[in-house]
Structure 1
């Protein structure tokens, strides 16, 4: 249920982009190519995939908010301060007493090895979101609603994620990011069973080949698209790393080649892709324009060290695409393309 803020002021309007789920603090080494046992200094950044997606969407001028939970600790305060600093609404972020805000460490071995180490996720506050706490008006009213496969890995987050999708009622731009992290699941079979419950409640799903294999049982991109459309998705996005992106609707199929960059840290690329995908969907661009823009946004972040802090602006993405001209709408479609 929604309530007006204290003092009788009207509730602020729903966000254009509302994401739900994982949040934490990323502790990334300053030394690239070194194991954690050799690293001597680190940087502290806002983290968590759906949180990064909201930041990325805000960088493209979208009003964005995150529905999540943090620990009642200094890092939880850091998360909220970082969100508002990025222009992301933190009204749906609450602290859970007795829990710690999760921390994620990584090692950086370009171009394709970035091991992650998760701490403080047992229990993670973001997995303690209860269905009774959901703001139905915010979920139903958002221009785009984004949930993740990770949100299905434990109760009560699993029930809350499914209930949020039911509240959403398959409104346009209801996105399931497959976001499979094996460390959070007891088995791939359990993950597949739970994702199978969520897929028919979404209108858009995106993920890499491993995540689609968990979700629908195949690593073949074209077959993953077919199976995704068969369960009722309107848009299916398959990220293939060095082979680019395959995206499809019932009437279109688009293959987008990779954007060549010098990779520094690939961990935030998928989240930058996600925020740009939100932007293109809300702008009404066609599939080709949306995926082209999102692919370039992901490439830009892969060429940078951090995740949330590294999310590109619309102008940066357009420059990478060779289109520095004025926007033709909310952020403007890539040159020569659009609705």
Structure 2
């Protein structure tokens, strides 16, 4: 397996990440196994892909600052408090008054007929502007991380591409989690075009087989599309669910498997995988070991209720890997 590009390697090694994207509030039925529609008790925690990645990074000893907007209401304040509780830097989070709302997800800890209902009416995280990202000192961070949802609407889309340009000028590599959510986009054609542009601009791209297939125009072309990106010098992690992942650099590929798990719900794995993989690379792990740690973190997260709260700290992750070695 060839090494990471020098810029990506040195950036991740700093262990300090600026993360763009949404933060939300999760409500999940308690106890385990109760469907949300029959729930009488619910637990609340931090949610949203980018916020989860930040929380996962901080729990593993990294530094992470989130760039987003929150609503000026009790949900927005709950989210901010939770971010601070997890150790996330909230300096670049703007609170907006009016009718914009932070997202709210309601789900349950069940696998059979799992349901999640996400309220994203007038989503406030789409209101991040180019002016907001211009205020960031990118030189303070080792890498910029974003999940694909930020590109689904304006002005967040333009703001994120502006942040890409500013990060590149500062010599900061870009790490892109495709995270395609069809309900957020005006059309599949727009999504495919914009997500492809984002991948082209990134040094590291992480996504599952369906997401790469979507960008390529057909599922069966997804792997070739991923290999094409890797051939251009990018680090690509092509996830295949229970079949593991293929990590690609240049013309070399590494196949890794998954850890045993008894999943309680199918959400949170991708965010935990990203956080743990980056944290492992920052701590000097090889690509193989880093992806292995990402897989272990994903298995832990799906085996516990919630998302951010279910992500492991360093001791939990090390113990899990040792037990399942």
More helix by share: 2
Aligned residues: 309
CA contact (8 A) 1:45 1:306 kept: yes
What's the CA shift string for 1:187-229, capped at 9, x where partnerless?
2221101112211111001111221122233435642421322
How much has 1:283 moved relative to structure 2? Answer: 2.8
Matched position secondary structure for 1:238: strand
Distance in 2 of aligned mates of 1:297 and 1:212:
22
The aligned residue for residue 8 of structure 1 is none
Q: Contact 2:67/2:93 (CA < 8 Å) preserved in 1?
A: yes
SS in 2 for 1:321: helix
Gap regions ≥5 residues in structure 1: 1-13, 325-334
Other-structure match for 1:168: 167
Return the alpha-carbon distance in structure 1 between the equivalents of residues 215 and 205 of structure 2.
10
Distance in 1 (CA, whole Å) between partners of 2:128 and 2:81 is 21
Answer whether contact 2:179 2:211 (CA < 8 A) is retained: yes
Matched residues in 2 for 1:63 and 1:250: separation?
A: 29
Report what 2:304 is aligned to: 304
Mark the runs of 5 or more structure 2 residues left unpaired by the alignment: 1-13
- Residue 280 of structure 2 aligns to a residue whose secondary structure is helix
- Give the aligned partner of residue 151 of structure 2: 152
Instruction: Report the alpha carbon displacement of residue 233 of structure 1 after superposing the two structures with TM.
Output: 5.2
Q: CA contact under 8 A between 1:218 and 1:224: conserved in structure 2? A: no
Show CA shifts across 1:24-70 (max 9, x none).
10011114444332122111111100110011000111111111110
Check if 1:292 corresponds to 2:292: yes
Greater relative contact order: 1 or 2 (C-alpha under 8 angstroms, separation 6 or more)?
2
Structure 1 counterpart SS, 2:36: coil
Residue equivalent to 2:102: 101
136 and 96 in structure 1: CA distance in 2 versus 1, 3 angstrom threshold: closer
Distance 1:238 1:180 in 2: 14
Root mean square deviation of aligned Cα? 2.2
**1:233-252 equivalences in 2 (<5 Å):** 234-252=234-252
Normalized against structure 1, the TM-score is what?
A: 0.85
- CA shift for structure 1 position 122: 2.7
1:136 deviates by 5.3
TM-score normalised by L of structure 2: 0.89
Distance in 1, Cα, partners of 2:147 & 2:292 = 22
What is the alpha-carbon distance in structure 1 between the residues aligned to residue 91 and residue 50 of structure 2?
16
Question: Is structure 2 residue 87 aligned with structure 1 residue 87?
Answer: yes
Correspondence 1:1-339 to 2 at 5 A: 16-98=16-98, 99-110=100-111, 113-119=113-119, 121-135=120-134, 137-169=136-168, 171=171, 173-220=173-220, 222-230=223-231, 232=232, 234-322=234-322
8 Å contact 2:92–2:136 — kept in the other structure? no
CA distance in 2, matches of 1:138, 1:248: 31
Residue 252 (structure 1) shift: 3.0
